[in-house]
Amino acid sequence: MRARHLCALALSVALIPLAAPGVAGATGYSDAFFRPAPTGEPGDVLNARKEALPHFPGSEVDQLVFRSTDSHGEPTTGAATLIRPPGMGPDAPIFTYDHFINSLAADCQPSAAFRNANPEAQLVGASMSITNLALARGWAVLLPDHEGPDAAYGANLQGGRITLDAIRAATDAKYRTGHSPAAVVGYSGGSGPAYFAASEQPHYAPDVNLVGAAMGGLPADYRAMIEFGMRGPGPHPGAAVATIAAVGLSREYPEIELDGKLNDGGRAFARSIEGACTQSLLGAGGQIGNLKQVSDLPKDVLLDDPAVREVMARESPVNAPDPQVPLHFWQSPNDGLMPYEPVRRVAGQACAAGTPTEFSEAARADHLTNAVAGIPAVLDWAGGRFAGQPAPSNCGASTNPWGS
């Protein structure tokens, strides 16, 4: 059971905001390349360099740092790695993959981890089968560091904007992508930024040629996730997930202080995970099985705090504007971390708004196996969007099987 608990934490990055202090520590990028001033317009490239990564043999790899926008509309920077397969044709599609980063330090994110020989790069590389499969189709692959320069773990709105600006930065004739279509895919913690990229695109980045977004293991409603994780009497990995996310979200929303809400054990845990990558978080998170270990306050006091309630609502896909590009969801009703009904509700809302929406249910999968099980269908779905085929939809304008 402990092994399963830790594996679940490894894939759970759609984390939940309880509230947290503004944390300091080794959280930002150590390489000055990733830390230019956020000047110019969103998507403007501020730094660029070539890389040679053994994870993607024979491919051309470029790292890009660009201007973006945080959750409050203020200038920030983003980073991404663009991978182009051998013999890629002009204006090849850009398959944008929001990886489930699971970390509280910018150096743990793909671009920096690949560069600095961080052991995290091995974990990222091992989970990149979808990347190599996309490259094999002749597509460019874009890997945004969607947590941003402060590793704001769980901040989906900023992550969506960084994802869109990464596409802007990567869409350039010098990369043979000057007129490329793009699709965004994410699983678990990467699915929130992917959904917000689609939601934000019409008004934040209407110039981005986004043709679709696919999400699996989606954290559709942060409050529902907390309550889902607290529904039983025994330990649940959602308690650690919630606390870890609170630390990440506090970097984007310092108004959700935690010192007055955490007990001594919770404050010690929060300090211990500052600047931690996934592998360290696995060990630390395995010690937390119940929210009572980190806070003495009743659940309703925590969740009904005005600042916490506002952030949970703002960062939950269920409350975001409906995307206008085709959507694909793959979700399991047996997912022990991401509640199923809120995802159905998100899909239903998009469907009712007239967005072509495909919902794929993996009835026998849990959160872990669903991550892999959905890959073949997602690649085929993205291929259809790149080819300009009519988007599949199993809801229709007048028949909505998921409710609204």
pLDDT attached to residue 118: 67
Single out the residue of 138, 130, 202 nearest to residue 164, CA to CA.
Answer: 202
Structure tokens, 206: 């209407």
pLDDT attached to residue 16: 30
CB proximity list for 293: less than 8 A, separation 6 or greater: 239, 265, 266, 269, 287
CB proximity list for 56: less than 8 A, separation 6 or greater: 83, 131, 132, 135, 141
pLDDT attached to residue 125: 58
Whether residue 139 contacts residue 85, with contact meaning beta carbons closer than 8 Å, is answered with yes
pLDDT lower than 70: segments of the chain: 1-26, 117-127, 229-237, 286, 396-404
Single out the residue of 363, 364, 336, 339 nearest to residue 8, CA to CA.
Answer: 336
Question: What domains does the chain contain, in order, with CATH numbers?
Answer: 8-221+315-386 (3.40.50.1820)
| DSSP per residue, 186-238 | EEGGGHHHHHHHHHHHHHH-TTS-EEEEEEES----HHHHHHHHTSSSS--TH
pTM: 0.90
